[in-house]
Amino acid sequence: DTGVSQDPRHKITKRGQNVTFRCDPISEHNRLYWYRQTLGQGPEFLTYFQNEAQLEKSRLLSDRFSAERPKGSFSTLEIQRTEQGDSAMYLCACQPLNTEAFFGQGTRLTVV
Amino acid sequence: GESVGLHLPTLSVQEGDNSIINCAYSNSASDYFIWYKQESGKGPQFIIDIRSNMDKRQGQRVTVLLNKTVKHLSLQIAATQPGDSAVYFCAERGTGFQKLVFGTGTRLLVSP
């Protein structure tokens, strides 16, 4: 257990619906990352927060995706008007400076 | 662009054998490399890391070797056990906001 919690663990939604995922990081870690992982591939970077500031976003993060980290604690990732191509595992990670990243168990999204 | 890749998509070994998983990276500026283990339905789990100023690092039953000349990274697992069966990813840490760049993974299958 890395101490990084993600909720829900699984989400099945119909195409066109909105979904929101939550990540509760290790409290003393101020660097938080979201990654997306499709079957058979390694995780791909989506976005990065330092405290409450979103400092970097990948080109993978289309306009339908939005992430927030109010108060620099938990973070949410919302996908609007979901598409089948959004089906993936969404991973949250905390990373203290100059050490490895600690990943949560992920949220598995299936868009039907 | 930067990329991290693996030579073997699947590696099958017998219990007790030593396993070697290889990885090539392309960003010569990377200064930190990590091996992660990922079991089905779970987030990546840290195994071992190595900084670019080192050639070798040992952990419990695992050794990581870094060859900067040919930009090659390997993970050696001694006395492989069935519990080692998983997908293994190497990752390099980028500069700036330190996001991780992952390869596509190698599946390790350990037979009793």
- Residue, of B97 and B26, whose pLDDT is higher: B26
**B4: pLDDT confidence band, cut at 50, 70 and 90?**
low
Q: Is B24 on the interface with A (CB under 8 A)?
A: no
**A77: pLDDT confidence band, cut at 50, 70 and 90?**
very high
**A82: pLDDT confidence band, cut at 50, 70 and 90?**
very high
The pLDDT of residue B23 is above 80: yes
CA A37 → CA A87, A91, B29, B35, B105, distances in Å? 9, 7, 25, 16, 11
Maximum Cα–Cα distance for chain A, whole Å? 40
The pLDDT of residue B6 is above 50: no
**Which residue is it, tokens 């598409």?**
A83
Instruction: Give contacts of B104 with chain A, Cβ < 8 Å.
Output: 40-42
pLDDT at B31: 87
- Residue, of B67 and A71, whose pLDDT is higher: B67
Arithmetic mean of pLDDT, B92-110? 84
Taking all residues of chain A, what is their mean pLDDT, rounded to a whole number?
92
**B7: pLDDT confidence band, cut at 50, 70 and 90?**
very low
Asked whether the beta carbons of B5 and B103 are under 8 A apart, the reply is: yes
Q: Is B43 on the interface with A (CB under 8 A)?
A: yes
Cα–Cα dist A41/B41, whole Å = 13
Percent of chain B with pLDDT over 90: 71
Among A58, A103, A107, most B C-beta atoms within 10 A, so best to mutate, is A103
**Which residue is it, tokens 């050490």?**
A99
Residue B12: beta bridge partners? B109
pLDDT at A10: 97
Lowest mean pLDDT among A81-85, B40-44, B54-58: B40-44
Q: Are strands A19-24 and A53-57 parallel, antiparallel or unpaired?
A: unpaired
Q: Is A53 on the interface with B (CB under 8 A)?
A: no
Smallest Cβ–Cβ distance between B103 and the set A42, A56, A108 belongs to: A42
Q: What is the DSSP string of B33-91?
A: EEEEEE-TTS--EEEEEEETT-SEEE-SSEEEEEETTTTEEEEEESS--GGG-EEEEEE
A26-63 pLDDT, tens digit per residue, is 776 788 999 999 988 899 999 999 989 999 999 988 99
CA A14 → CA A24, A63, A82, distances in Å? 26, 19, 8
